[in-house]
Structure 1
Amino acid sequence: MLYTDKFYIDGKWVPPANSVLLKDVLNPATEEVIAQVALGTAEDVNRAVKAARRAFDSCSRTDPAARVAILGRIAEVYQRRSQEVADLMTQEVGIPSGPSLALQTGIAFRQLEQTIASLASMDFDLRRGTSMITHEPIGVCGLITPWNAPMIQIVCKVAPAIAAGCTMVLKPSELAPLNAAWFADVLDEAKVPAGVFNLVQGDGETVGATLSAHPDVDMISFTGSTRAGIAVAKAAADTVKRVTQELGGKSANVVLPDADFESVIPKGVMGSFRNSGQSCIAPTRMLVPRARLDDVVRIAKATAEGVVVGDPKAADTILGPVANRAQYDKVQRMIGQAIEEGAQLVAGGPGRPTGLTCGYYVRPTVFVCKPGMTIARDEVFGPVLVILAYQDEDDAVRIANDNPYGLGGYVQSADPERARRVARRLRTGRVDLNYPAYDPAVPYGGYKQSGNGREYADFGIREYLETKSILGYSSV
């Protein structure tokens, strides 16, 4: 059952503690109301945290095999019902139907599978001489997730928390609540023990802030904007809880002179537009040799103008709308500011694509600009690519690193050793060489203002563990 007017607390769907405040959930393709979600209060958070605290004693003492079994049941139900959540994300976030199932839903499932495999092979104890070093669940975790890739972000927090033996309270984005309610129903069907997972819908100012500052919450895992991440960290500071964050990005795509431009430029353009540009690791800064700038502009323009934008349920749609009105307005402001600052508009521009009179649709946009321009430094979170010219390899690395963010990086070269050399110089948490296949077994996280901590696989599980040293554990 898909409840948005109730919260999932202690293994049951329960009404809000106080008089309910409902928020409309809009379909970004039509701007029509498709649901209403109840916004929780501090009392709802308190109830959920108490349930998680009660469950922690028994949950923390389960062995890894029992937790593997729980995650296996979740994976079975998730896979069987995956079309449901793909459809929900198309409705509430505007992700086209194909990518919603194959990429968003599919990547989340692969993360579930990888978490199970990582847990099954992890050793939580390490003998060192006569001492034992053991890793134990950190406690009750507050999980705060965004709207742009909602199911991926929920799974990559909930799954490792369960794997570690923690209990949790999830606060998803109030702008994309349907998929979170669906996921709670999946966990209920999978018979996750009561109190291990709890869901409280609500906004950041109330539910998020209460969760972050709560004295009985031992850890906060947050994904969202850098601005909101700073607020979460400040709220958590008084209780000295652990805070892990995956924040914004402005990833550089360094195209070296020996790359095949006719192949790598279109892939880079489409990579920056994927999910309507609403990906913090998108390659939104394309760095190219100055001598090849005209070629790059020609290819990028043709690629952008060939993108089909429209109804996310239509089979030929490549890009749907951005997810909400606030994001649409922000993207439009930043496109306008770029033009005012003198950036060269290559494709796209302000307003909706031709023929679309409603919905939060953005024209796929490409600029050529200088490194100091706002559009080249700040995260847009829309289908907007900036092209920057460099003189030589050292200049490319300098431009790539001259940014407050450090989440992702990309290098394109026909010479694998050269690509590796440049990758090692980029100050980012992840670098993709020549557009590789997705790998769920590697860590994900950023340098600088892109956050701290890592998600995915065993790296993600370890974020939910404390380290304990037991001296004199043995006599030899």
Structure 2
Amino acid sequence: MIRKTDFYIDGKWVAPAAAREERIINPADEQPFAVISLGGAADVDRAAAAARAAFEPWAATPLAERVRRIEHLLAIYNRRAKEMAKAISMEMGAPMSFALSEQTGAGSWHIEGFLDALKTFEFEHALNAATPDERILREPIGVCGLITPWNWPMNQITLKVVPAVAVGCTVVLKPSEIAPMSAILFTEMMDEAGFPKGVFNLVNGDGAGVGEALSAHPDIDMISFTGSTRAGRAITRNAAETIKRVTLELGGKSPNLIFADADLPAMVRRGVTLCMENTGQSCNAPTRLLVERPAYERVVEIAASAAKSVEVGDPAKEGNHIGPLVSATQFDKVQGLIEAGIQEGARLVAGGPGRPDGFNRGYYARPTVFADVHSDMRIAREEIFGPVLSIIPFDTEDDGVAIANDTPYGLAAYLSTRDTEKARRVARKLRAGMIHVNGRSLAKGSPFGGYKQSGNGREGGRFGLEDFLEVKTVAGG
């Protein structure tokens, strides 16, 4: 059993203020493999005080020195990538190949993106050519509380920690208590990279014990949170008393519009793959497949076939399969929503309730596809966070856009058509923060974030740097 019960505060590993141990479960076999501590308000107080004391000297550190530390961090991260992949695989069930290339790879991708952005980012400039003596300054906001999820641990930790320390902020990180081992390993890397004491602090814990204390703490100037919309509301309420900045990256129910003129086999299979990868546990997954009616039955056939070809397997093994869901709670939620889809009259064309054949333990779910879904069904409205796809027909372009936007979320949207003008027109009508046309992925440094109840703020590249900065105007100086 791995024991990692200390927190990282003020440049050293320290025991929690009160002993409260928590076992970490491997979702592949439902067995504990590690023990951590769950912190509380006293631990947050210590970490916030350390971060506050470190803030002014770190903010005054030359940018070149901060960049040098991040470059060193990147080198360490790349050297220890296989360790990171193993930690992620064991804590949240990502298969080793995916954990290395995508989960761990996301971290180095974002660190590189921030380093690129720092090369050209203007921390000071004139308001405009006509007013050269009025300067616009961007300065670090202060001490930041960072709360990250279990589904893409390094993606989210690097998207928050790196830009914050890069611009001169100091931080207190609370990773998910379900999947904390990767964060502990990342903390070892921050320590090895030589960041000054107090710049980076780690306190493990749950939402009630650490999340609430962070979001309400008077010495925390900003909260950056990724997780559920429900938790995002609670954090916003807790932060209101101190009027701190709150940035949120929350849930999604992303539409994938397939027009009849699209490359159906390629685009539908890609959509199914994106829905199912990471066992469906991605906030931007295209979980609603909206299909122009002339192509509807053909698309249903392709999607069902693609889902049936998705392999489910042991995450400890290499391969192009998907692993288990992260926890018993998540497994029960997904099973309940699959049952709801059947009860509400959707047509089950692949998968269904229960574990896949050959599994009698572990939180494995069957890759599932429903056709003939209506927008008022639970499977069309709720974020399932499992390998479940809902297919909905539409008749006209306006009809498709209306169905796509008929959601409280607005994180991502996808569309496929051979008509370039239609693609441009539809992309501009969709109420979402990120639009993918004909399978195009986002570039390094692109802004990640959404509209409506998918949150506020943007992460990645220069947009992520801006989230951790205040704007100051100096007229005549």
- Alignment TM class, shorter chain as reference: over 0.9
Instruction: Give 2:432's aligned amino acid.
Output: T
Given that 2:3 and 2:35 are in contact with CA atoms closer than 8 Å, whether structure 1 keeps it comes out as no
What does residue range 35-74 of structure 1 map to in structure 2 within 5 Å? 35-74=34-73
Q: What corresponds to 1:142 in structure 2?
A: 145
The within-5 A match list for 1:400-439 is: 400-439=404-443
Q: What is residue 326 of structure 1 aligned with on the other side?
A: 329
Equivalent-residue separation in structure 2 for 1:273 and 1:119 (angstroms): 35
Aligned to 1:11: 11
Corresponding residue of 1:153: 156
Q: What displacement does 1:36 show?
A: 1.0
Q: Structure 1 residue 472 and structure 2 residue 476: aligned?
A: yes
* Aligned AA (2:200): F
Residue 112 (structure 2) pairs with residue 113 (structure 1): yes
Secondary structure in 1 matching 2:392: strand
Matched to 2:431, the amino acid is R
How much has 1:206 moved relative to structure 2?
1.1
Residues 207-216 or 295-304, more deviating: 295-304
SS in 2 for 1:267: helix
Aligned equivalent of 2:101? 102
The answer (yes or no) to whether the contact 2:97–2:319 under 8 Å persists in 1 is no
State the AA in 1 paired with 2:114. Answer: T
Paired residue for 1:259?
A: 262
Distance of 2:421 and 2:295 partners within structure 1 = 22
Write the distance in 2 (CA, Å) between the matches of 1:467 and 1:344: 53
**Mapping of residues 358-437 of structure 1, within 5 Å:** 358-368=361-371, 369-437=373-441
1:333-372 matches, within 5 Å, as: 333-368=336-371, 369-372=373-376
Question: Aligned residue for 1:226?
Answer: 229
Task: Give 1:3 deviation, angstroms.
Answer: 6.1
Q: Is the CA contact 2:3–2:34 (under 8 Å) kept in the aligned structure 1?
A: no
Residue of structure 1 in register with 2:293 after alignment: 290
Partner amino acid, structure 1, of 2:5: D
Count residues with an aligned counterpart: 471
In 2, Cα distance between equivalents of 1:349 and 1:305: 11
User: Aligned partners of 1:263 and 1:55: how far apart in 2?
Assistant: 52
Partners of 1:65 and 1:152 lie apart in 2 by: 24
1:180-222 deviations in Å (ceiling 9; x for gaps): 0000000011111110000000000110000000000000000
Mapped to 2, the partners of 1:363 and 1:445 lie a distance apart of 29
Give 3-state SS (helix, strand or coil) of 1:98's partner. Answer: helix
5+ long unaligned stretches in structure 2: none
Distance 1:86 1:316 in 2: 14
Please show how residues 142-291 of structure 1 align to structure 2 within 5 Å.
142-291=145-294
- Say if 2:352 and 2:366, in contact at 8 Å, map to a contact too: yes
Alpha-carbon distance, 1:461 to partner: 0.5
Q: What per-residue deviation string (whole Å, max 9, x for no partner) do you get for residues 222-264 of structure 1?
A: 0000000000000000000000000000000011111011111
Q: TM-score, normalised by structure 2?
A: 0.97
Output the CA distance in 1 between the equivalents of 2:52 and 2:355.
49
**8 Å Cα contact 1:308-1:316 kept in structure 2:** no
CA RMSD between the two structures: 1.0
Which amino acid in 1 is paired with 2:383?
E
Shift of 1:70: 1.2
SS at match of 2:4: coil
SS in 2 for 1:69: helix
Instruction: Tell me if structure 2 keeps the 8 A contact 1:289–1:391.
Output: yes
Whether the aligned pair in 2 keeps the contact of 1:125 and 1:135 (CA below 8 Å) is yes
**2:436 aligns to what SS in structure 1?**
strand
Determine the C-alpha separation between the residues in 2 that align with 1:315 and 1:201: 30
- Residue identity matched to 1:424: R
Which runs of at least 4 in structure 1 moved beyond 6 Å after TM superposition? none
Q: What amino acid sits opposite 1:207 in the alignment?
A: V
Q: Secondary structure at the match of 2:323?
A: coil
Letter in 1 for 2:255: A
* Structure 1 pair 285–423 and aligned structure 2 pair: CA distance change class (3 A): same
Question: Is the Cα–Cα contact under 8 Å of residues 24 and 32 in structure 2 kept in the other structure?
Answer: yes
